[in-house]
Amino acid sequence: MYGAILAKRAPTKALGASRVLGLSRSSGASGCRLLTTFPGHMTAPCYKAASPGPAHAAATRYRTSTPTITARTSPASARTYASNATMSASDVKVKVGDTIPQGTFTYIPYTPELENHSACGIPVKLNTDEWKGKKVVLVSVPGAFTPTCHANHVPPFLEKYDEFKKKGVDVIAIVAANDAFVLSGWARFLGLKDKILALSDPNARWSAQLGLAQDLSALDFGTRTKRYALVIDDLQVKYVGVEPERGVTVSGADAILAAL
């Protein structure tokens, strides 16, 4: 019934690049819930389709439901997520003095055009060989926009950016298993601009070589990077800080500055 109504009043074609899954009644409320799916967050077609416009106007003829607190979106969920991100020291393969494994990250270079959110940028590759002869601070987080990463871990690196530069650091990079589009959006939200790179380690493949990947499939997150930090000088590891439990200590900005 609802599919027929949708076809008559708001054809799938009118919704541009979005994919219509269907309509359902909201429990205890009048109106319908419009369900759509996108191939990827902040990718070019999806970003455009989600923007206000004629298609948006057609879709908003239907009443949409507001998000509800669930087991996965509640504050308790964040605590569960953090507790599942713990690890033992025996898992770590990398140590001071090692040469980092060769690998390739993807990221979207910052340009001022990205600031008004009308463009999403094009991902490019960064090979670890580009860090030869450079001092790099690499900070890994389990996920963009997650509570500890967003509020406590990354912001101090931006706040203390000048202190890192005075210590001779050439590159500060945040790495996560999220795709490059999500990380670019997060970087814009945090105001990282061209000071700090936001690198995608797809499926945590590079981090896995260091023993620093984790399986969070039980939380529907899949394979993620662990919370850690490395200081790399001319491709050699000079500092390893891996968080043994929830919170930010050895991988935080202050700990790394003290080690430089």
Round the CA-based radius of gyration of the chain to a whole number and report it: 21
Point out the residues that are catalytic. Answer: 149
Instruction: Give just the sign of the alpha carbon dihedral 139, 144, 148, 151.
Output: positive
Most confident by average pLDDT, 2-6, 20-24, 62-66, 158-162? 158-162
Mean pLDDT of 79-84: 39
Q: Which residues are CB-neighbours of 47 under 8 A, at least 6 positions away? A: 120
Quickly state the pLDDT bin for 40 (edges 50, 70, 90): low
pLDDT at 78: 40
56 vs 165 pLDDT, higher one = 165
> How far is residue 192's CA from residue 155's CA, in Å, rounded to a whole number?
9
Mean pLDDT of 11-29: 41
Mean pLDDT of 187-209: 94
Report the 3 state secondary structure along 136-161.
EEEEECCCCCCHHHHHHHCHHHHHCH
Quickly state the pLDDT bin for 179 (edges 50, 70, 90): very high
pLDDT at 43: 57
Mean pLDDT of 5-16: 39
Domains belonging to the chain, first-starting first, are: 2-59 (no CATH), 76-259 (3.40.30.10)
Q: Which of 151, 121, 140, 145 is nearest to 229 (CA)?
A: 140
Where are any strands of DSSP class E within the chain? 19-25, 32-37, 104-107, 124-127, 135-140, 171-176, 197-200, 213-215, 223-225, 228-233, 236-242
> How far is residue 43's CA from residue 243's CA, in Å, rounded to a whole number?
32
